[in-house]
Amino acid sequence: MERIEKLKSFLQESPGDSFLKHALALEYIKAGNDEEAQQLLESLLQNNPAYVGSYYHLGQLLERKKMDQQALQCYKTGMEQAKKAGEQRTYNELKSACEELEM
């Protein structure tokens, strides 16, 4: 919980910081708070769709919640953004997750 509180404090100082939002969302996931994590990741990607690392984590979260269609869309959107950004590794990870879910 200490890390969550520190990250929340940093976010109050820099509310638009995508890295801090991503880090806080991952801490919420570790703590089992998928609702808070989902809200943060969705907000982050709405405001910064080029932050490609968050698509994978949001997709995984959606899969855990049995929201497979939303997860697929998340992966596909992330693949588009990763391709635009030239992020081949992230593209490959998202493509793999997408293909695995489609099986």
CATH architecture of 2-102: Alpha Horseshoe (1.25)
Q: What was the pLDDT predicted at 24?
A: 96
Q: Quick one: average pLDDT of 32-50?
A: 95
Percent of the chain topping pLDDT 70: 99
Q: Is the pLDDT at 73 greater than 80, yes or no? A: yes
Asked if pLDDT for residue 1 goes beyond 70, the answer is no
Cβ contacts of residue 85 below 8 Å, gap of 6+?
50, 52
Give kind and range of the element (H or E) at residue 89: helix 88-102
Average confidence (pLDDT) over 28-51: 95
Global confidence as pTM: 0.92
- Please give the mean pLDDT across all residues of the chain: 95
Q: How far apart are CA 63 and CA 66, in angstroms?
A: 5
Instruction: State the pLDDT confidence band at 103, using cuts at 50, 70 and 90.
Output: confident
Long-range contacts of 96-101 (CB under 8 A, 24+ apart): 97/56, 97/59, 97/60, 98/59, 98/72, 101/59, 101/63, 101/68, 101/71, 101/72, 101/75
Residues 17-34 have pLDDT tens digits of 999 999 999 999 999 999
The pLDDT of 35-50, averaged and rounded, is: 95
DSSP 87: -
